[in-house]
A and B are shown apart, each in its own frame.
Chain A
């Protein structure tokens, strides 16, 4: 029985009725799902009917937190948005840092569920027990930074946390994001479009209450010791200094820096996109999310050149890749400006960049011409065109309207064989990795519940060669193959085990950068901490945590299966399986996906032919209840 950590309440916003409702958080959800992603998966499966249009009133937008959100545990400020994805029509989730998750807890709620559809633009105000649906007519059309400032001014409170939709979400750009307080993005899978379709411009949250854990003293001591582990970890210190920019050089070195729409893995201009180059020239301050002693976020200022005067946070490594190497641009200010536009319009940087890359490559190969683009010449390395296209996408103007559909749908509309340049899995553009030179991520991209995902199962132990960690986690018998980036062997073991640990990470919810890279905390650390936070003794057993994680992965799979996903959809763009890496350290490498898939399904207890969870597995994970909701309501 859980006694601490949770507020025990789910807040529902019923837009159709213009009303709020507070439900009790069921105890068995805690026991079976812990929180975060897990709660959201349970609720989405039960309440969003199979086959519904993600942009219809039947879809729901869920914001979920975990038992330690808002506590002193390191990097526990993250929160997750879950919905049937506007971009892909399957499972959608997007995690975000900042401060909004803790604020929801302090206001007294573990989860927020937005249901129905408003007939006019509104914003939702949650101030402890003061709950209001307010007119947002005057905010409609505003960029996210503008509406954020306007709401704070209106309520005369700088501490309000705001998740806002920009012009892109209003226009239902398929990869539109929710932007939290100017620069934190719940970027992927199109959460902005889901909220925009509900006519909600923003969610504004302010809480003055408390989060109480089960054993305050023991938890606080453990949390302080955990902070010291982060503070003294040499790799974490480097991350604090360079942020995710540290990855550019690493990826270039191993030949996995996606360049020219993933054509190759090395980029001649990489140095200008590396932390060493950027920080001394542009960074003005280091910033952190809630409760984070690492502080990977950087505020940057451009003093000269075409983008002079830009003062903005970001981008992450993924943005450097998406607008830099991915488009052949060796210029940091362009990536900062592009990132800023994405934040202001509310768009996902990875998908926006990749969709532009798709267009560039199709244009280069003559499959589309200036007739399609409205006269625009598309050329690798052309910063101004990238900036122009982003604004056109955000406003759905001209050629931007087609690109606003994302690369898969744009290729369908354009036809002419352009789909071979749409580098996506299940409709979600591939993030900044390449399976050819990092085999485990090929499997991760192919099996990720939301599509080509780098956050649910990305193994860094093989990528960066942590031999000792690999030995401890997976056993000496799997070395050296398990850390050899060029072989398929044992990769499913690493992927499944990492995916399980990240599942727990995403139920708590803590930041990727305390678990995944560098590997500071793992399952045992969570098993030591969770009972102190919650009072739930069963969380103290790693075996049980693993089972909860498996349950969660399988539940998401069942959600996708209900939307028609099978093994046939767990595939990669031909670029990774049929085009050998053209140069660099991994020259000649391709991915042999099928054997890894077999291993993965076997470990997961899913059917090898269909890729769907077997009856036996469903029962052993106590997921029999899903049958009740198996087809459309």
Chain B
């Protein structure tokens, strides 16, 4: 059983596009997340005026068999694939806040960004046919405010947090796998 595979860390791309310093970002500590999805509810409540997690700008993935919950938020992306991929420059980075935002007037709904987002949090709303994407609530993120555990925070960060959180999970799983193997080689079941 290779449970670590799902979390294997992607190597850095060798040719780095634009790398920028990010003033304030959403950061995630998965070890604190309980998977309650209050953040998804609050995001949809704020931006859509209803309770609809499928339209939230962030996504919590629950692994019930492993007991791990991972909130996926927009960023932090030093290099933003959604910006790189957008053919019409509808997805852009704000020069001051460095936040990636979507210019709805320019968007041609090609959906390239949906596939390119490293955290899978750009979505297509099929009812209103529009792209929905986190805008950091204009600098006052609702999700970070409602999160009861502090798993989502907002503030300046050092780079590499995303990678770090994935490697933490990998090491947690390695420990479990290791003990499981030791056990089975001892003849346990």
Contact = CB atoms under 8 A, between A and B. Distances in A.
Given A210-B50, A303-B179, A309-B179, A145 B65 contact: yes
Nearest to B41: A72
Contacts of B61: 158
A223 B149 CA distance: 17
A511 B131 CA distance: 35
B67 A210 contact: no
Interface stretch (A80-88, A291-299, A561-569): A291-299
Contacts of A211: 50-52
A208 B56 CA distance: 11
Contacts of A301: 176, 179
A182 B65 contact: yes
A234 interface: no
A211 B45 CA distance: 10
B66 A72 contact: no
A210 B41 contact: no
Interface in A293-338: 293, 295, 297, 299, 301, 303, 306, 308-309, 311, 313
Contacts of A181: 64
B54 A208 contact: yes
Contacts of B172: 284
Contacts of B52: 106, 208-211
Interface stretch (A212-220, A257-265, A451-459, A487-495): A212-220
Contact of B66 (A227, A291, A311): A311
Given A216-B45, A224-B146, 20 more contacts: A99-B37, A106-B53, A183-B64, A207-B54, A208-B52, A209-B54, A210-B51, A211-B51, A212-B50, A213-B50, A284-B67, A285-B34, A287-B69, A289-B36, A292-B38, A299-B66, A301-B176, A301-B179, A309-B180, A311-B176
B67 A287 contact: yes
A291 B64 contact: no
B156 interface: no
Interface string A193-211: 0000000000000011111
Contacts of B51: 70-72, 210-213
- A70, A285, A286, A306 interface centre (most CB from chain B within 10 Å): A285
B49 interface: yes
A290 interface: yes
Interface of A: 70-72, 99, 106, 145, 148-149, 158, 181-183, 207-213, 216, 220, 224, 227, 231, 284-293, 295, 297, 299, 301, 303, 306, 308-309, 311, 313
Q: Is the interface of B mostly helix, strand, loop or mixed?
A: mixed
Contact of B188 (A71, A208, A220, A309): A309
Given A71-B51, A227-B148, A313 B38 contact: no
B149 A295 contact: yes
B183 interface: yes
A520 to B, nearest CB: 14
14 contacts: A72-B42, A99-B37, A106-B53, A207-B54, A211-B50, A211-B51, A216-B50, A224-B146, A285-B69, A288-B35, A288-B36, A291-B38, A295-B149, A309-B183
Interface string B96-139: 00000000000000000000000000000000000000000000
Nearest to A294: B148
B164 interface: no
Nearest to A303: B179
A207 B179 CA distance: 38
Contact of A72 (B45, B67, B184): B45
B151 to A, nearest CB: 11
Given A70-B51, A216-B50, A287-B35, A293 B41 contact: no
B79 interface: no
Contacts of A227: 38, 146, 148
Contacts of A72: 38, 41-42, 45, 51
A210 B41 CA distance: 10
Contact of B148 (A70, A287, A293, A306): A293
Contacts of B180: 309
Nearest to B55: A210
Interface of B: 31, 34-38, 41-42, 44-45, 48-55, 61-62, 64-69, 146, 148-149, 172, 176, 179-180, 183-184, 188
Given A210-B50, A309-B179, A71 B64 contact: no
B188 to A, nearest CB: 6
8 nearest A-B residue pairs (beta carbon): A299-B67, A210-B52, A293-B148, A288-B36, A288-B34, A295-B34, A208-B54, A210-B50
B25 to A, nearest CB: 24
Contacts of B183: 308-309
- B53, B64, B188 interface centre (most CB from chain A within 10 Å): B64
A216 B42 CA distance: 12
Nearest to B49: A216
B36 A220 contact: no
A220 B51 CA distance: 10
Nearest to B3: A311
B67 A311 contact: yes
Nearest to A296: B34
B18 to A, nearest CB: 33
A227 B146 CA distance: 8
B36 A290 contact: yes
A469 B85 CA distance: 60
Given A71-B51, A183-B64, A299-B67, A220 B45 contact: yes
A297 B140 CA distance: 30
A436 to B, nearest CB: 37
B188 A313 contact: no
Nearest to A183: B64
Given A288-B35, A293-B148, A71 B67 contact: no
A631 to B, nearest CB: 43
A297 B148 CA distance: 15
Contacts of A71: 41, 51
A496 B54 CA distance: 41
Contact of A308 (B31, B42, B179): B179
Contacts of B35: 287-288
Contacts of A311: 66-67, 176
A306 B34 CA distance: 29
A553 to B, nearest CB: 30
A299 B42 CA distance: 26
Contacts of A209: 52, 54
A182 B30 CA distance: 21
Contact of A106 (B49, B54, B176): B54
B49 to A, nearest CB: 5
Contacts of A290: 36-37
Given A158-B61, A183-B64, A309-B183, A286 B50 contact: no
A183 B64 CA distance: 8
Contacts of A308: 179, 183, 188
Contacts of A309: 179-180, 183-184, 188
A405 to B, nearest CB: 29
